[in-house]
Amino acid sequence: MIVTRSWLNEFIDLSGVSNETLYETFNAIGLEVDSMEEVKIPEKVVVGKILSCEKHPDADKLNVCQIDVGSQKLQIVCGAANVVDAEYVAVATIGAVLPGDFKIKHAKLRGVESAGMVCAASELGLPDMGKGIMILDESIGMLEVGRELGSYEKVADTIIELELTANRGDCLSIYGVARDLSAALNIEMKPFEVKLEERMKLGIARKADLHTKGEMDADLCYKLARVEKSASSFLIKLRLAMVKVEASCALEELLAYATHATGVILRMYSCASLCEPEDEKVIVSVEAYAKGIIHVYANGKHVSIVGVNQVAKTKPTDESNEVLIEASYIHPDLLSEAVASLDVEKDELFYKTSRGSNGDLTFGLTYLSYLMETYTKSECYEGALEVEVEREQMKILVDANEISSIIGMDVDLGKIATVLQKLGFEITAMNDHQLATKVPLFRHDIKNIQDIAEEIVRIIGINNIPAKPLVFAEKKRLNATSDRYKAKKALRNRAVGIGFYENVSYVFSERATLEQYGFEVTKDALELANPIAEELNTLRSTLLTNQLLAVKRNVSYTKKSIPLFEIGAVFDAERNQSERMVFVFAGQVEVESIKNAGKPPLIDFATFTQKLGAVIGHFELVPCTQKNGLIHPYQSADIVKDDKVCGFISKLHPTVQEAYGIPVTFIAEVELEALMPKHINAKPISNFQGVYKDLSIVIDKSMNYYEVVKVLNGLDLPMLKESYPIDVYTDEKLGDKKSLTIRFFIQSMEKTLKEKDIEEVMQKIIEALASECGAELR
Amino acid sequence: MENLEVKILQADSLEALEKVRIELFGKKGVLAAEFAKMKDIPGPEKKAFAEGLNKQKAALQATFDSRYEALKAEEIEKVLKSEAIDVSLYGTLAQKGALHPVMETMDKIIDYFVALNFSVESGNMVEDDFHNFEALNLPKYHPARDMQDTFYFKDGGLLRTHTSPVQIRTMLKEKPPIRMIAPGSVFRRDYDVTHTPMFHQVEGLVVDEKGKISFANLKAILTDFLQYMFGDVDVRFRPSFFPFTEPSAEVDISCIFCDGEGCRVCSHTGWIEILGCGIVDPNVFKAVGYEDVSGYAFGLGVERIAMLVHKIPDLRSLFEGDIRLLEQFR
């Protein structure tokens, strides 16, 4: 919503209010100032009167004007076509400096002397008012030849753009904004009084009829007017340009101006478009189509939907000589709900009607009639055709104590009453701590005591409310979510400690990519209906594809070592949400340095696994059962924690690596649930010496160590405390066999081991491995 | 005996000194020989002789010890020198990753409220109309729904546009008093220089019996919170509108780039908009079946705060895993 200072001044006297105060007040009462621009007309730009205007002898498009600027008469060559229609214009005299550091000097145009420039609005830093020079008139004040244009307050105005919240339809007009200011600044509104001449004695009933059909839920008021000429004024054009409202003809300018000023929804229909030549009357028929949807017909033709749109060809033009004027009000909630389920075109007025327009139709019509009488020499037929809806006005009982407790400071009932009255509320009853108030129609957003409290807060100013810490009962508020959050934070810090960067990516993925690599996708019936882009058209079921894109970007930024992790949400086909932690490591293990003589190794399975373990703790690797297109079939494993598969680790499949154009990459994705800290009970520690024993066995080359582990785990050997592989060896002599060296730690809880005890344990191991794995001693 | 001392002092290595030690203090050494003479000394002089000899022995031992220390130190110094490296070459080896600035900011925000005994709550990203809109006093066709361009699913589900549904779910699950924050990802269908389809919010909600919680309380906690996040800034409250709170306010801090003088970042206003808050609307309480309660709520955008605190110029770069950005936060 854009307002100007001088326009506001029509409704409230702002003469004692500085722009700084205005700025602060708007912000303080919740009408946020987006921008505030003081129009500065350059000095030496004055009002000039054109005495004569003749064609330039040597140039078709130029005119040579003799202009009176008070102190002297100047000859100025002007290129604008509309100068021939002008009497009073803005003249930049010699020495004036126009915006863009454009200095006005003596000039010769095609041989003719020119001592200044006749200005267009945009040349003076005013908003663009269309083609040609500005043609001034007395709408901005009395025109005195030679007077500085900048001294006219209505020209050198202040343009204020307000950012309105969705509930403040009442401030979508100059009048509404003035009313809010009146309460905030404690300045009375100026009474709006115009005297309309009653020149026409003809009643409207002679020329128009109104019929209704169905239950009416809109207020409507129609007037009929005869238009003598199509004209508005310089000020109207200037202000419409300042508030960025467009109009296509003079009548539309008046209409838009009146609507912007009063907030009343006004429409105009050209009678010529409604009536056939033989029609003697305009027959307006208003029909309820559905709740909140009112169709308007004129002489059988559909012309508009109240609050929504108007048939274009019924709009007034410069040729219109008789017009039907309509003022309307419909409750915004009713309208918004009705329109949402209807596929209809909405015009620029819908923004106002859906947020709440001014229901004071008489005010709007009077304002417009006054403009039309003044500028178009219109005559209105006497009386009006009206539809009025019975509405129950919202009543609220306001208790000063309740208001005080919501705000947190004592507010006096008298102060509450004053604020509400200034805001247009009617006080119907009052005792020493309560008052009853009727909410005006234009404040449809006020429904309860807290809404009233908001009005009070706005006007007394939040910054005048003291801050008070809340006293709250002690209670433990740590819960599973805060535990989980703490665990996540620890995981993240460990990942960072081992060199990974934290990535945050969208929970979206490209469905085609997920399908291509064999990941789960959301069921079609549950899929996103309005994705924002093709590559973000589904919920991700893996964190990995987003990481690969990040790796790709980092490669393009010439990064050679790319370790990333992310903790984030994934969704299954049923759209169930869970969290995972993902790791990718691409390229070099580390940066080039003294340590690696400038040739750092590339990431490999062992290093990646070690880093992963430093973050997520102990795990086992078993043959990979996961299936997706990113997995390298021969360098991949399921990650087992607490005897459960919770994710996988793999070298990135070389074809994917190539497709993304990235270096050697390792990936791992783990269910976050499996990484949550577990309760641990300590086991007794033996006080007796233990021994390490190494065993080298020869087994099939294709046999995984995992098979050996299964055999060892199946043995009932309480003294065997630990076992782990320490060497694998192959050579030609071994053929399709390999030698595997395993280290065992043997210890008893009860006694110091004797050679015989150790032998017994080792013998059982050897026998089991021989029978189950076909192992031979080396 | 004097030249014995000279011998000790002339030993130029630990080996040479060891030879001298044997020569002097050994079983067959000079001192042993001197002490052996004792048996030939007549009784009355024996004591004086022994004292004299012991004194000499102690003096020689002291000289020896100090010489030993000196040679030992020389030797260690030699070993140390031989192990010298150019340590300045290794500084670049220090390698650590970095937390994401948005997540790190989120941590900092959560830490504050947890310290004030707020519980942390979470919820699903896929929500329904009731929890995301209806219960928050945003009935269908409410013009305020325009503010939140929503991602919908074919079955009518939606991606939450704010973390407020977590408040609704917590209130439906628990009885007041409530004192909670809900951090998490939220989604709006908007993608340009200043908007990403996903971003992060932290919302707060405090509910207690009617009349207990006022706007003044909200002012106290948010002013303190913003000074915790941004240091010594001025905090300004402006009335605003949110369907779920009434009265509502937007909170600004004095611009941290120009100290309130006015600059490009604050659009020459001297103020930066930072969060929204208000007293919970009675319709919200009605939707969850709470009676006779009062409460306040607030919500803030984590990216915005992270960008301000760390002076990060480009919002979208936060979602690209760009190591050039991340490595600055090591």
Residues 523-582 of A with CB under 8 A from B: 524-533, 536, 539, 546-547, 549-551, 553-554, 557, 559, 562-566, 569, 571, 575, 577
Mean pLDDT of A9-34: 93
A239 against B38, higher pLDDT = A239
Is the minimum CB–CB distance between B216 and chain A shorter than 8 Å? yes
CATH fold for the domain made of A2-38+160-185: Phenylalanyl-tRNA Synthetase; Chain B, domain 1 (3.30.56)
Q: What is the length of chain B?
A: 330
**Which residues in chain B are closer than 8 Å to A511, comparing Cβ atoms?**
none
Check if the beta carbon of residue A236 is closer than 8 Å to that of residue A139. yes
Query: Residue A277: its pLDDT value, please?
Result: 80
Regarding whether B240 and B202 lie in a shared domain, the answer is yes
Last residue in a domain, options B65, B92, B119: B92
CA A583 to CA A605: how far, in whole Å? 13
Regarding whether B266 and B203 lie in a shared domain, the answer is yes
Report CB contact under 8 Å: A482, B157. no
Query: Quick one: pLDDT band at residue B1, thresholds 50, 70, 90?
Result: low
Mean pLDDT of A257-272: 95
Is the minimum CB–CB distance between A440 and chain B shorter than 8 Å? no
**Which residues in chain A are closer than 8 Å to B95, comparing Cβ atoms?**
499, 590-591
Domain that holds residue B75: 2-92
How does DSSP assign A393-409, residue by residue? Answer: PPEEEEEHHHHHHHHTS
Q: Which of B246, B253, B266, B268 to mutate to test the interface with A (most CBs of A within 10 A)?
A: B246
Is the minimum CB–CB distance between B227 and chain A shorter than 8 Å? no
High-pLDDT (> 70) share of chain A, %: 99
Mean pLDDT of B189-218: 93
Is the minimum CB–CB distance between A489 and chain B shorter than 8 Å? yes
Q: Is the pLDDT of residue A462 over 80?
A: yes
Q: Is the pLDDT of residue A196 over 90?
A: no
CATH architecture of A691-777: 2-Layer Sandwich (3.30)
Query: Residue B148: its pLDDT value, please?
Result: 59
Regarding whether B169 and B311 lie in a shared domain, the answer is yes
pLDDT digits (tens, 9 = 90+) for A667-718: 999 999 999 998 889 988 999 999 999 999 999 998 989 999 999 999 999 9
Regarding whether B298 and B256 lie in a shared domain, the answer is yes
Query: Residue A200: its pLDDT value, please?
Result: 65
Mean pLDDT of B148-154: 87
Report CB contact under 8 Å: A30, B326. no
Answer yes or no: same fold for A395-464 and A481-675: no
Query: Residue A331: its pLDDT value, please?
Result: 92
* Residue A589 CB partners (closer than 8 Å, separation 6+): A561, A600, A601, A602, A603, A604, A607
Report CB contact under 8 Å: A485, B120. yes
Report CB contact under 8 Å: A501, B151. no
Q: How far is B143 from chain A (nearest CA, A)?
A: 6
Per mean pLDDT, which range of A281-290, A454-463, B90-99, B124-133 is the poorest? B90-99
Q: How far is A279 from chain B (nearest CA, A)?
A: 41
**Which residues in chain B are closer than 8 Å to A462, comparing Cβ atoms?**
215, 219, 237-239, 249
CATH 3.40.50.970 fits A481-675, yes or no: no
What would the two tokens of residue B286 be? 């009605």
Query: Residue A58: its pLDDT value, please?
Result: 85
Mean pLDDT of B299-314: 92
High-pLDDT (> 90) share of chain A, %: 74
ipTM summary value: 0.85
Regarding whether B228 and B83 lie in a shared domain, the answer is no
Q: Is the pLDDT of residue B31 over 90?
A: no
Is the minimum CB–CB distance between A469 and chain B shorter than 8 Å? yes
Largest Cα–Cα distance in chain A? 131
Helices (H), A528-586: 544-556
Class of domain A395-464: alpha beta
Class of domain A45-156: mainly beta
Report CB contact under 8 Å: B153, A526. yes
Report CB contact under 8 Å: B96, A536. no
Closest partner residue to B120 (CB to CB) among A454, A482, A508 is A482
Regarding whether B302 and B175 lie in a shared domain, the answer is yes
Lookup result for tokens 């003079």: A250
Q: How are the residues of chain B apportioned to helix, strand and coil, as percentages rounded to the nearest 5?
A: 50, 20, 30
Per mean pLDDT, which range of A297-311, B128-142, B226-240 is the poorest? B128-142
Is the minimum CB–CB distance between A497 and chain B shorter than 8 Å? yes
Q: Is the pLDDT of residue A198 over 80?
A: no
H/E segment holding residue A586: strand A577-587
B122 against A199, higher pLDDT = B122
Regarding whether B49 and B189 lie in a shared domain, the answer is no
Query: Quick one: pLDDT band at residue A144, thresholds 50, 70, 90?
Result: very high
pLDDT digits (tens, 9 = 90+) for B227-257: 999 999 999 999 998 889 989 999 999 998 8
Structural domain total, chain B: 2
Q: Is the pLDDT of residue A244 over 90?
A: yes
Of the candidates B126, B123, B191, which has an alpha carbon nearest to the alpha carbon of residue B153? B126
Mean pLDDT of A274-295: 89
DSSP E strand stretches across A71-181: 73-78, 88-92, 97-98, 102-103, 107-109, 112-114, 117-118, 135-136, 158-163
Query: Residue B138: its pLDDT value, please?
Result: 86
Query: Residue B268: its pLDDT value, please?
Result: 83
Q: Is the pLDDT of residue B147 over 60?
A: no
Regarding whether B306 and B181 lie in a shared domain, the answer is yes
Last residue in a domain, options B63, B92, B121: B92
Report CB contact under 8 Å: A557, B322. yes
Report CB contact under 8 Å: A30, B98. no
CA B278 to CA A406: how far, in whole Å? 10
Regarding whether B132 and B38 lie in a shared domain, the answer is no
Report CB contact under 8 Å: B241, A479. no
CB-hemisphere CA count at 13 Å for A217?
16
Regarding whether B137 and B191 lie in a shared domain, the answer is yes
pLDDT digits (tens, 9 = 90+) for A413-434: 999 999 999 999 999 999 989 9
Report CB contact under 8 Å: A495, B97. yes
Q: How far is A560 from chain B (nearest CA, A)?
A: 11
Q: How far is A561 from chain B (nearest CA, A)?
A: 10
pLDDT digits (tens, 9 = 90+) for B98-114: 999 999 999 999 999 99
Regarding whether B166 and B62 lie in a shared domain, the answer is no
Look up the CATH superfamily of A204-387. Answer: Phenylalanyl-trna Synthetase, Chain B, domain 3 (3.50.40.10)
Regarding whether B109 and B85 lie in a shared domain, the answer is no
Query: Residue A80: its pLDDT value, please?
Result: 87
Say how many CB pairs under 8 Å bridge A and B.
Answer: 265
Per mean pLDDT, which range of A7-21, A435-449, B37-51, B181-195 is the poorest? B37-51
Every domain of chain A and the residues it spans: 2-38+160-185, 45-156, 204-387, 395-464, 481-675, 691-777
Query: Residue B68: its pLDDT value, please?
Result: 93
Is the minimum CB–CB distance between A481 and chain B shorter than 8 Å? yes
Report CB contact under 8 Å: A463, B247. no
CA A252 → CA A155, A316, A368, A463, distances in Å? Answer: 22, 7, 11, 43
Query: Residue B110: its pLDDT value, please?
Result: 96
What would the two tokens of residue A753 be? 């081991």
CA B255 to CA B235: how far, in whole Å? 10
- For residue A189, the 8-state DSSP code is B
Is the minimum CB–CB distance between A388 and chain B shorter than 8 Å? no
pLDDT mean across residues, chain A: 92
Indicate yes or no: pTM above 0.80.
yes
Pairing of strands B178-187, B119-120: parallel
Last residue in a domain, options B70, B92, B114: B92
SS3 B6: helix
Mean pLDDT of A746-771: 93
Q: Is the dihedral of CA A306, A312, A318, A320 positive or negative?
A: negative
What would the two tokens of residue A480 be? 């599973």
Closest partner residue to A527 (CB to CB) among B153, B179, B189 is B153
Is the minimum CB–CB distance between B65 and chain A shorter than 8 Å? no
High-pLDDT (> 70) share of chain B, %: 98
CATH number at residue B217: 3.30.930.10
Report CB contact under 8 Å: A501, B98. yes
Report CB contact under 8 Å: A499, B97. yes
Residues 192-231 of A with CB under 8 A from B: none
